[in-house]
């Protein structure tokens, strides 16, 4: 009789966001396999309160002290013994707890880098949904993974699909593995096929109305501009040691094929499934085993046909900017990411138009030279701060439109 697998102890960074909620849905289905140790959120007190009552974590973390105090009082009144903390240092502590086996890194944006890096240094199994960790600090972050014996499993549906489609023993050598290149699929977002002039007047609500996926507001806007796909190109470069010219983006509106790997013998291997983030989450949680995710099986007869298009880089300038940042190297990807975060927030706050997002990014990249590689967290955070300051200065001047 086979021995029963040990229960995995989990920290979730970003538990109230889309990835965090889907992760908890998968964990809910397998209480005998997983135990939630820490739940971390930014400001959604009500949702985190409900999650603590259900999963009874040892720790809960919020962004600021007032919300943390509110949560602590409510949990105490409800008889829940979860210990509440707040702030960036608490996030780092949750990622490196000795009893934690795996960390779901699902905090959106640059704020997710320090705790995700802490998980790598602590040698954890990292379920990486925070692509910014690799975009901002690819070389530095991957070195931390290797040197500390951490395990890195991608959660983005595209990178998870590539991970599943590469040879099981793939170690970052394309030639040795017979791999020609990667195809990252993209839905094209809500504005695919619209005339460029129409994009000037789109609202945040329109930009966040993704045709296939349910996501947070920031990542939904990134999908609409295709910056999300550009960041994924940079992420794929670091995850799989693949040069930019071997990573192609293909628009696939149905979002059924999640990405593909092209081999030297003419084969193309792909991973297919319904567009549901619980599939890659379950895959990474149980790897190398498989567990139920609560996702309906793909009905090929209902899908019927699949379509593919080459992206128009003039229509999607953010994608072109991401390829440029990867080509320039150094601090360019960090600058790209920081300027994009500031510009997207300005759009969501109705300070700039949708089409101003790439103009802000391009101007900031023009102002800040790429320089050499970033070799420490301090260097990464400095480059991030300088790019944010440059972007905010542009916006305060009322430029560019």
**Is 232 among the annotated ligand-binding positions?**
yes
pTM: 0.91
Q: Does residue 63 fall inside a structural domain?
A: yes
**Is 341 among the annotated ligand-binding positions?**
no
Count of residues in the chain: 401
> In this structure, is the dihedral angle defined by the CA atoms of residues 109, 110, 112 and 116, taken in order, positive or negative?
positive
**Is 18 among the annotated ligand-binding positions?**
yes
**Is 379 among the annotated ligand-binding positions?**
no
- What three-state secondary structure class fits 185? strand
Look at residue 218 in the predicted model and tell me its pLDDT.
Answer: 83
**Is 157 among the annotated ligand-binding positions?**
yes
- Asked if 386 and 143 count as a contact pair (C-beta separation under 8 A), the reply is no
Look at residue 3 in the predicted model and tell me its pLDDT.
Answer: 47
**Is 173 among the annotated ligand-binding positions?**
no
Q: Does residue 160 fall inside a structural domain?
A: no
**Is 327 among the annotated ligand-binding positions?**
no
CATH number for position 43: 3.40.50.720
Instruction: Give me the average pLDDT of each 10-residue run along the chain (401 residues).
Output: 72 96 98 97 96 98 96 97 97 98 92 94 96 89 96 96 95 93 88 68 77 69 91 96 95 93 97 95 96 96 93 92 95 95 94 94 95 89 95 84 46
**Is 17 among the annotated ligand-binding positions?**
yes
**Is 203 among the annotated ligand-binding positions?**
no
**Is 158 among the annotated ligand-binding positions?**
yes
Q: Where are the alpha helices (DSSP H) in 78-184?
A: 88-95, 113-121, 132-147, 157-165, 174-177
Q: Does residue 299 fall inside a structural domain?
A: no
- Asked if 117 and 24 count as a contact pair (C-beta separation under 8 A), the reply is no
Q: Which domain holds residue 43?
A: 8-154
**Is 188 among the annotated ligand-binding positions?**
no
Q: Does residue 306 fall inside a structural domain?
A: no
Q: Does residue 398 fall inside a structural domain?
A: no
Look at residue 200 in the predicted model and tell me its pLDDT.
Answer: 77
**Is 337 among the annotated ligand-binding positions?**
no
Look at residue 130 in the predicted model and tell me its pLDDT.
Answer: 87
**Is 376 among the annotated ligand-binding positions?**
no
Q: Does residue 111 fall inside a structural domain?
A: yes
**Is 15 among the annotated ligand-binding positions?**
no
**Is 131 among the annotated ligand-binding positions?**
yes
Look at residue 2 in the predicted model and tell me its pLDDT.
Answer: 44
Total domains present in the chain: 1
């Amino acid at each position: 009789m086979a021995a029963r697998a040990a229960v995995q102890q989990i920290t979730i960074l970003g538990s109230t966001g889309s990835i965090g909620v889907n992760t908890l849905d998968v964990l809910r289905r397998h209480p005998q396999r997983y135990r939630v140790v820490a739940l971390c959120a930014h400001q959604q007190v009500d949702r985190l309160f409900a999650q603590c009552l259900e999963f009874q974590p040892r720790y809960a973390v919020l962004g600021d002290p007032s919300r943390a105090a509110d949560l602590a009082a409510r949990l105490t009144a409800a008889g829940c013994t979860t210990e509440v903390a707040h702030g960036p240092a608490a996030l780092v502590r949750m990622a490196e707890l000795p009893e934690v086996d795996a960390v779901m890194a699902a905090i959106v944006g640059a704020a997710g880098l320090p705790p995700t890096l802490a998980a790598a240094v602590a040698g954890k199994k990292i379920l990486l949904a925070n692509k910014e960790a690799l975009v901002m600090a690819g070389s530095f972050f991957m070195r931390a993974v290797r040197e500390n014996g951490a395990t890195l499993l991608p959660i983005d549906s595209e990178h998870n699909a590539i991970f599943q489609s590469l040879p099981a023993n793939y170690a970052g050598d394309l030639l040795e593995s017979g791999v020609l290149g990667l195809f990252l699929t993209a839905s094209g977002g809500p504005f695919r096929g619209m005339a460029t002039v129409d994009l000037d007047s789109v609202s945040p609500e329109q930009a966040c109305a993704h045709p296939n996926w349910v996501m947070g507001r920031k990542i939904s806007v990134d999908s609409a501009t295709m910056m999300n796909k550009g960041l994924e190109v940079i992420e794929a470069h670091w995850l799989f040691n693949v040069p930019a010219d071997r990573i192609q983006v293909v628009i696939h509106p149905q979002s059924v094929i999640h990405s593909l790997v092209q081999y030297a013998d003419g084969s193309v291997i792909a991973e297919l499934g319904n567009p549901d983030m619980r599939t890659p989450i379950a895959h990474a949680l149980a790897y190398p085993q498989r567990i139920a995710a609560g996702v309906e099986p793909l009905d090929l007869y209902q899908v019927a046909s699949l379509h593919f298009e080459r992206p128009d880089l003039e229509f999607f300038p953010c994608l072109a900017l991401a390829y440029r940042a990867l080509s320039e190297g150094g601090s360019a990807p960090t600058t790209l990411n920081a300027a994009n975060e500031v510009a997207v927030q300005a759009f969501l706050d109705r300070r700039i138009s949708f089409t101003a997002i790439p103009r802000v990014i391009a101007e900031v990249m023009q102002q800040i030279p790429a320089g050499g590689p970033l070799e420490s967290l301090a260097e990464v955070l400095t480059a991030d701060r300088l790019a944010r300051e440059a972007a905010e200065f542009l916006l305060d001047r009322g430029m560019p439109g």
